[in-house]
Structure 1
Amino acid sequence: MPAPLPATAERVDRLEASIDRFVASVGIEFNKLYKSQQRTTAEMREFKDEMREFKDEMREFKDEMREFKDEMREFKDEMLGFKAEMLGFKAESIAERREMNRKWGDLANKLGTMVEDLVYPSLPRILRETLGREFDSIQARVRLRLPDGRVREFDAFAIAPEVAALNSTKATLRSADVDRLIDEIAAFREFLPARAHLPVVGILATLSVDDSVLNYAERLGFLVLAVGDQVMEVKNRPGFEPRFW
């Protein structure tokens, strides 16, 4: 058999060398791939462990939240019970205070001291709440005399720079007492000429007031007071505006 030609042998050697390099390169890449796969497998195993721990933590958290919800439900039930007890206590306190004020009013009426004991102490608060101003002077049981000798007693009145308030107190308030307050306002201006220029707010005070009398007094623009939760309180309906005489 004839010997290979030199060019052919050289090509064969190069081919074998290329195959060796390819095989070596494939081995290297396979080794890299294998190591990468190993890392990925380890990372996945670590991730699965972390997820398992996270699921356990979430399960514990859900259990804690369930316990918290149960505790909150119990607390809510206790608060509802406490609220009901407080409402009952408040209703009893209001009823007791109203009864005490009524008895106080009856006693003051028997002693003839309704103005001093009930009306006069309540006037600053009532005037502030209804007229929105403070009064410089509030007096009770005032007897005034004119130069001609006539004498007039007023239950109570209050003076401010721009307005006056005149009170008439009756144990039992009747429609005729409402009418008489108009005359008292005129007498007030006559007996206090220095204040005659001031507009006057009329105030009627009593132990309790009948709805028909209250309606009549409101039509004339008078404030009406009676014994209530705060000793004397305004009985006019919401939105009522007193008349300035």
Structure 2
Amino acid sequence: MSNSVWEHLYSHLDSTPRRLALNLPALEPRVANLESMMANLIAVSENTSRAVAQLSLEMAQFKDEMQDFKDEMQDFKDEMRVFKSESEQWRAKSDESLEAFRREMREENRKLNKQLGEIANKQGRIAEDLVAPSIGRIVREITHSSCEETEYEAVRVRTHHRISGERREFDVLAVCGEYVLIVETKITLTPEKVDGFVALMEDIRNYFPEYEGRKMIGGLATLYADASIVTYASRRGILVLAVGDDLMDIQNGPLFRPREF
């Protein structure tokens, strides 16, 4: 290295302390400001740390409270599940008891009606004691309530054939709206008796010309009707009545429609 370079370097180093000494008054405010900013930063950092710590504590407490709430809700759900199970068991037992009571009452009612029917049969009063009290309800059911109240009900109706003059007695007659129901009582029902009643109904208007313009339907009443006889009579359009829950009940199926004569 040349002598000139060394001389320049020495001169520069020699002048540096003097320059720093000259600039020190100007640096002091900046240093003070920097120290103030650092102090503020430290304070803010400490406050932030305290806030974060407080928030963490509150979150931990909230988490514990939520866990307690979940536990309480689970306990409540368990209690409700037990209550629901017990309620369903109680309701099932109640329904079974009620249904058993209903079955027992229906059976007792059926037995009572059968006994009444047997007594009436012995006395020859099936029409008066069994059919007549039920005839209004039956005619409304079989006509699907097209009439609200029967206009006329009668037992042991005596009349004569308007052409031959033959006199005949009909067991029960009911007039309801546009319908006239004729019911004959039989101790037992057979296909032959059904056919004979159909033949009678085909000539029924000669016995009741006063009901011209009304729909005439016929029914057979008995104490007990075998299912095969009910089927046969239904095919011929004849209503079948037998002892049931309400004295005399309709034995034909729900889709049955009586023949109009």
The residue identity in structure 2 corresponding to 1:194 is E
Aligned to 2:10: none
Please say if 1:78 is aligned against 2:94: no
> 1:43/1:86 Cα in 2 relative to 1: closer, same or farther (>3 Å)?
same
Aligned to 2:154: 139
Aligned to 2:183: 167
Aligned to 2:214: 198
Aligned to 1:116: 128
TM-score when normalising by structure 1: 0.88
The residue identity in structure 1 corresponding to 2:184 is S
Gaps spanning 5+ residues in structure 2: where? 1-13
Distance 1:229 1:163 in 2: 25
Q: Alignment partner for residue 217 of structure 1, among 221, 233, 246?
A: 233
Distance 1:160 1:54 in 2: 73
Aligned to 1:39: 51
Aligned to 2:38: 26
Larger Rg: 2
Distance 2:211 2:16 in 1: 151
The percent identity for this pair of structures is 30
Gaps spanning 5+ residues in structure 1: where? none
Bigger shift: residues 11-20 or 24-33: 11-20
Aligned residues: 244
Contact 2:180 2:215 in 1 (8 A): yes
Query: What displacement does 1:31 show?
Result: 0.4
Query: What displacement does 1:9 show?
Result: 4.9
Alignment of 1:147-186 (within 5 A): 150-186=166-202
> 1:82/1:239 Cα in 2 relative to 1: closer, same or farther (>3 Å)?
same
> 1:64/1:163 Cα in 2 relative to 1: closer, same or farther (>3 Å)?
closer
- Structure 1 runs, 4 residues or longer, greater than 3 Å off: 1-5, 7-11, 145-150
Deviation sequence 1:90-146 (CA, Å, 0-9, x none): 222221111111111111111111111111111111211221222322222112257
Distance 1:172 1:128 in 2: 25
Distance 1:129 1:14 in 2: 118
Query: What displacement does 1:150 show?
Result: 4.4
TM-score when normalising by structure 2: 0.83
Deviation sequence 1:170-201 (CA, Å, 0-9, x none): 12122232122234325542232221332211
> 1:34/1:98 Cα in 2 relative to 1: closer, same or farther (>3 Å)?
same
Q: Please state whether the residue corresponding to 1:242 is helix, strand or coil.
A: coil
> 1:9/1:104 Cα in 2 relative to 1: closer, same or farther (>3 Å)?
same
The residue identity in structure 2 corresponding to 1:71 is F
Distance 2:253 2:232 in 1: 12
Distance 2:226 2:21 in 1: 136
The residue identity in structure 1 corresponding to 2:141 is E
Query: What displacement does 1:210 show?
Result: 2.1
> 1:234/1:54 Cα in 2 relative to 1: closer, same or farther (>3 Å)?
same
Q: RMSD across aligned C-alpha pairs, in angstroms?
A: 2.5
The residue identity in structure 1 corresponding to 2:91 is M
Distance 1:34 1:13 in 2: 32
Distance 2:47 2:173 in 1: 104
Distance 1:225 1:64 in 2: 58
